[in-house]
Structure 1
């Protein structure tokens, strides 16, 4: 049972499938293991930057050519969400994260074993594409599983891991490229192993969090009570004691809810199919923004 002295937003439901009713420990673990996917992505994405000089020598490329392993990776990282967000909405966030993590792990292995520069570039492009999933899906998981007053703390975990990967990756890669005979390839094999570990962590510790919340139905008396509360807020002459009593009485401030821990059988399903979502429509919806005048003004003023 969760008890708080303030209103919970969103309002808790009685549905045992609601992610808001997960135990606090499960919420924390789920956000940590899914955010860790971003750590791995940025660790592998940025880590190879310290090996540019070695790639120039090994692949006989110019500096601008060798840095394509970074620029193309970031390009596909930026456009990948056009695909992964619709996947998460249609088939589930768990499906999207497991698929992207598996793909990314495979691309780390391909990068480490690449026999040519073109093969290396292809692997880096697909790794960036796979890495895009966690960039936008994890914040949605935070919104799915936590009440508003806790989202700041949970988002700090996401920010810490997503930025930590970019900082720690080059440090580890710098040491490995200097001290190990296989240089940057050893680092990519390390990323492959960490990516595989992350896949199993998500598989066992993150239940699907897609959930359609029912609309809150209030009686006439409850609606009147909420209107009174809003009028109290607007009136500065109302004593604070009366305002507090009214807030406690309002139905939207109910703060007691029963937690529900998903069973292992509820956790392991790979797909959560949503028949109400049109995959292609959701995928192409963001492209409508390209015709907005402000977008073209921004492009035209780009130096």
Structure 2
């Protein structure tokens, strides 16, 4: 940041504002997906995210760089929030813990290897702009991959050539059709038992069967389209944007959000603090050496990835066998070690830095 003549505190704000923008980007994911579909939302978010990197690389002032970080974060937040949605679509409930652990590990690994690669690029090439170009190219490739390999998964989006859901030609898709032949869109807020749940909205409808020989046509139809309609009316943007926050009425969700937020914030704060301390006199460590500290975070991610997802699936499956119904909150005891380790490690890190243990 010497090139832009800013202080270390201002440099740290580049990370803080970008993370805040990621959070705000999540707000628009739900209404955007419902209105425009997951495919176009993903591509649009990746386009903003990609443009943000190239904007950062070309920035000539601190204000321009900060604005690029914020705008890029807004696009990245939309994309990031769609990951769990895609996981839920692709995997059955008994594998959700393991699938989400892979997704969470991927997010964490990106925060580890991104700064690490950046540090070596900056030291080797002598400019902080080169990592931005590299990440912009990687994001652009991701966008191209999404254009080619991400057909529209939202069943409420009707593209040209598709029959209405209620007029499916297969008679087995009537009122008594098995659930495997139906489509369902549900926002579930809280499980209250085997018979009752609080729901924002649930729609169940007959889904037209797809002949085995038409998967290529289905991929083409659901991928490359410009005009579409909705099988069912879409709610207002404001109500859909606020819908996820009603989940905060569920104690299990509040506890999980708080612990996850504390975990992320402490990791970011510790990373910034370590960078500031070790890059200043008398240490004067180079950028690549400072970023090696992130490898310790990777070790914790690998341990959690191998244990957390599998154990959560096992605990939920055990509860389902004993009680007769599915309850995701039965995996909450796994958060107890997290709630103990995070404050202790943060206090230990701060105490060590304050007393010169480094």
Question: Which TM-score band applies after superposition, normalised by the shorter structure?
Answer: 0.5 to 0.7
TM-score, normalisation: structure 2: 0.50
Alpha-carbon distance, 1:81 to partner:
1.1
1:162 aligned partner: 107
The answer as to 2:106 corresponding to 1:149 is no
Shift of 1:191: 0.6
Give the counterpart of 1:282 among 215, 232, 240: 240
Which of 180, 196, 202 is equivalent to 2:146? 202
C-alpha displacement at 1:89, in angstroms? 1.5
1:108 is the counterpart of 2:108 = no
- 1:189-235, CA deviations, whole angstroms, 9 ceiling, x for partnerless residues? 0011011100110000011111259999549xxxxxxxxxxxxxxxx
1:46-195 correspondence runs (5 A)? 55=1, 57-181=2-126, 183-195=127-139
**SS of equivalent to 2:121:** helix
Gaps of 5+ in 2: 157-164, 167-172, 178-209, 263-358
RMSD: 3.2
Distance in 1 (CA, whole Å) between partners of 2:37 and 2:150 is: 12
Aligned to 1:24: none
Confirm or deny: 8 A CA contact 2:25 2:75 kept in the other structure: yes
Instruction: Mark the runs of 5 or more structure 1 residues left unpaired by the alignment.
Output: 1-54, 220-256
- Alignment of 1:264 onto 2:220: yes
Give the structure with the larger strand fraction. 2
- CA displacement at 1:271 relative to structure 2: 6.5
| TM-score, structure 1 as length reference | 0.59
Going from structure 1 to structure 2, the CA distance change for 1:152 and 1:286 (only over 3 Å counts) comes to closer
The answer as to whether partners of 2:151 and 2:219 remain within 8 angstroms in 1 is no
Does the aligned pair in 2 maintain the 1:95–1:271 contact within 8 Å?
no
1:80–1:133 CA contact under 8 A, matched in 2 = yes
Do the aligned residues in 1 keep the contact of 2:4 with 2:60 (CA within 8 Å)?
A: no
Contact 2:53 2:135 in 1 (8 A): yes
Aligned pairs, how many?
204
Matched position secondary structure for 2:67 = helix
SS at match of 1:77: helix
Shift of 1:106: 0.6
